[in-house]
């Protein structure tokens, strides 16, 4: 009984995570400039990956797999912001910003 519930919950989490990944893919295609695209490329990942990992954990259920899943989650959460910041900073500094889309730019005054 418990395994059935866990299987179904796992499937639900997997589909939800996959849907977020799909939305992220659409966002990368549709957003107008690099910085907007970075939001889609890096962020739905944080929740999407967590959902997929939870789903996987609910399906696998063995201790060594759970350890690996936890590691993947930790490294994903720790590294995604660093990568996003490096790309965002590089994009901003090299002027690949569409200023017409910005409401304010407080970094420009600095």
Site of interaction with other proteins (CB under 8 A): 19-20, 23-24, 26-27, 30-32, 35-36, 38-40, 42-44, 46-48, 50, 64-65, 67-68, 70-71, 77-78, 80-81, 84-85, 88-89, 92, 101-108, 110
Q: HSE of 1 in the Cβ direction (CA atoms, 13 Å)?
A: 0
d(CA 86, CA 107): 16
Nearer to other proteins by Cβ, of 24 and 58: the residue is 24
Q: Write down the least CB distance from residue 3 to other proteins, Å.
A: 22
Of 38 and 58, which has the nearer Cβ to other proteins? 38
Whose CA is closest to 10, among 35, 41, 34, 2?
A: 2
Residues recorded for the chain: 110
Contact 73, 53 (CB under 8 A): yes
**Residue with Cβ nearer other proteins (43 or 59):** 43
Residue 52 beta carbon to other proteins: minimum distance, rounded to whole angstroms: 13
The nearest distance, CB 21 to other proteins, in angstroms, is: 10
Angle (CA) 76 80 84, round 5°: 170
């Amino acid at each position: 009984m418990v395994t059935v519930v866990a299987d179904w919950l796992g499937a639900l989490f997997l589909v939800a995570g996959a849907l977020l990944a799909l939305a992220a893919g659409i966002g990368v295609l549709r957003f107008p400039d690099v910085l907007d695209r970075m939001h889609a490329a890096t962020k739905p990942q944080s929740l999407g990956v967590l959902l997929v990992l939870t789903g996987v954990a609910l399906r696998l259920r063995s201790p060594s797999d759970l350890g690996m899943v936890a590691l993947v989650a930790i490294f994903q959460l720790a590294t995604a912001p660093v990568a996003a910041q490096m790309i965002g900073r590089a994009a901003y500094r090299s002027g690949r910003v569409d200023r017409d889309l910005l409401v304010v730019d407080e970094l420009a005054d600095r």
